[in-house]
Chains A and B, each alone.
Chain A
Amino acid sequence: MARLIFELKGVYFSYHGKIPALCDINLNIEEGSKIVIMGANGTGKTTLLMLLDALIFPQKGYIRALDREFRENLLNDWEFVRFFRSKVGLLFQNPDVQLFSPTVKDELIFSLLNLGFTQKEIEKRLSKIVQLFRIKELLDRAPYQLSVGEKKKVAIASVLIMEPEVLLLDEPTAGLDPQTTRDIIDIILKENSLGKTIITATHHLEIIEELADKVYVLGKENKIVRSDYPKEVLYDEEFLLKYNLAHIHYHHHKDLVHTHLPLHND
């Protein structure tokens, strides 16, 4: 059995102490696996990623990550912060949140500088990531001078430059054109092939099969309502409709009007 990266038992979190965002979450995530957290809007996907990245802490239950139990006071320990932040990277849904530095170059090296990497190591990693993402011409640009796709690429690059063992991705392909979506999926899959654990939160059905060995579905009650293999979930029409994860649409095949879910075998 592979090493457990995350172990969640009975996790509960609410905003302002009264709006439940996650209830009774039990989850085991193994090293090197690809996990997708599915769910309609407001079911707690982003909150779950924030918990996994130790940005917020459960009010009930517990989380063990990388062999240590999360406690809020752990973040006062610089050694833990340095260890954990360099091992776990989080991609935020909105790239404008993540790109807070004045230039792309400053953005890319922010984490390395703040985690205490040497100048030599910073330069080495910067050159590697710039080459991988082909973003050399963007280095001196300000975030407001980038397109949405470029922003997303830079945001992912700013996480991958840390070379984390675990990637937490919040809607990595939201709002992107098909080619950029493809590029980003390829990058994610490459990282997984290098042994990295990928945890993606999304409700975009078309990318789930590629990005998941296993799917966890969050329901309106902010609980995990199903954990299964992607194919089992994606072709369960009744289930997808019930949890607002798909809609029936119709289109024309010559003169025939055809109705189905976004994904179908026929």
Chain B
Amino acid sequence: MRVNSFIERSVVSAFSFFRESVLCENYASKRGLLQILSPPIKTLFVFFLLLAVFFSKSIIFILAVYSLCILLSYLSSIELRFFLKRTLVFVPIFYLVIALPSLFNVFTPGEPIIIFKIFNLTLNITHQGLFSFSILFLRVLTSVSLCVLLITTTFKYELLKVLPIFGVPHIFVLIVGMSYRYIYFFVEMFQNTYLAIKSRVGFIPSIKKGQFLVGANIANFWHRSYNLYNDVYNAMLARGYYREVKLPRSAKPHFVDWAFLVIGIFILGLSLWQG
């Protein structure tokens, strides 16, 4: 039963992951402010804001950018609960592993605010430490929020098309796009195979038998994916692929795109000017 539940858990997890991906694509298809932006311009806008947050040493400035994120998520028809859940989930990990030690005088010496003892060791939370901690915490929160905004309001394939702007070759973009497309195909096939096994044998009685079934299926899927690769390559050749692939361009930028680009450059400039 253990192996069976392991397989079942894996299948269910894979499907819930893809359901979540599709859910994100639902936000991308909604009508909202960020959704109407051209993906390359939107990516540059987010990139400039990320740089601004990275260079800024002002808590108020970073808080202002974070507030802008919340406002943009509202104007892009993203539910606040969904947005906060997506962004805040990363913060505790960062908070515990990286940012928390920076509070103490061991890592950030300075003017003490709170003094306490653990096992004869005197620890101070310093003024400088609290500042570093807050800056780190807000930088991460704002950066994650910016990335979530970009990913949530843009179709994955549109994001991929932006990559050549940063010098990524077209063939790489095509391969990543295909991998994304065929993952769905294989997940569906895997689910059907699992259901077929389940319908015939009910549950898998032993770990050994379960391992055998999983192993046989991995080999089978490898073989099928290899055949699919050959067929897809032939399908590309049949439709004119010749050495270098050409991909469709994103839509031309409009006035609102240029306006966002200017705002992005202005915010970055402001951050650099503050020093």
Closest to B22 in A: A145
Whether the pair A106, B239 counts as a contact (CB closer than 8 A) is: no
Whether the pair B157, A85 counts as a contact (CB closer than 8 A) is: no
Q: How far is the CB of B32 from chain A (nearest CB, A)?
A: 16
Chain A positions near chain B (C-beta within 8 angstroms)? 50, 53, 55, 75, 78, 81-82, 85-86, 89-90, 92, 94, 96-103, 105-106, 109-115, 140, 142-144, 158-159, 162
A–B pairs, 28, beta carbons within 8 Å: A81-B242, A82-B242, A85-B239, A86-B240, A89-B238, A92-B234, A92-B235, A96-B185, A96-B228, A97-B228, A97-B232, A97-B234, A97-B235, A99-B181, A102-B156, A102-B177, A102-B181, A103-B155, A105-B248, A110-B239, A112-B240, A113-B246, A114-B240, A114-B241, A114-B245, A144-B188, A162-B239, A162-B240
Chain B positions near chain A (C-beta within 8 angstroms)? 29, 155-157, 160, 177-178, 180-182, 184-185, 188, 228, 231-232, 234-242, 245-248
Given contacts A86-B240, A106-B248, A113-B246, contact A101 B231 (CB under 8 A): no
Whether the pair A102, B157 counts as a contact (CB closer than 8 A) is: yes
Main secondary structure of the interface of B (DSSP, over half): helix
Q: Which of B157, B234, B235 has the most chain A CB within a 10 Å cutoff?
A: B235
Q: How far is the CB of A171 from chain B (nearest CB, A)?
A: 14
Whether the pair B248, A109 counts as a contact (CB closer than 8 A) is: yes
Alpha-carbon gap, A92 to B238, bound state (A)? 10
Q: Give every chain A residue within 8 A of B182 (Cβ-Cβ).
A: 100
Closest to B232 in A: A100
Q: Give every chain B residue within 8 A of A82 (Cβ-Cβ).
A: 240, 242
Q: Give every chain A residue within 8 A of B246 (Cβ-Cβ).
A: 113-114
Main secondary structure of the interface of A (DSSP, over half): helix
Q: How far is the CB of B36 from chain A (nearest CB, A)?
A: 14
Q: How far is the CB of B239 from chain A (nearest CB, A)?
A: 4
Closest to B25 in A: A142
Whether the pair B240, A100 counts as a contact (CB closer than 8 A) is: no
Given contacts A78-B242, A82-B240, A86-B240, contact A113 B235 (CB under 8 A): no
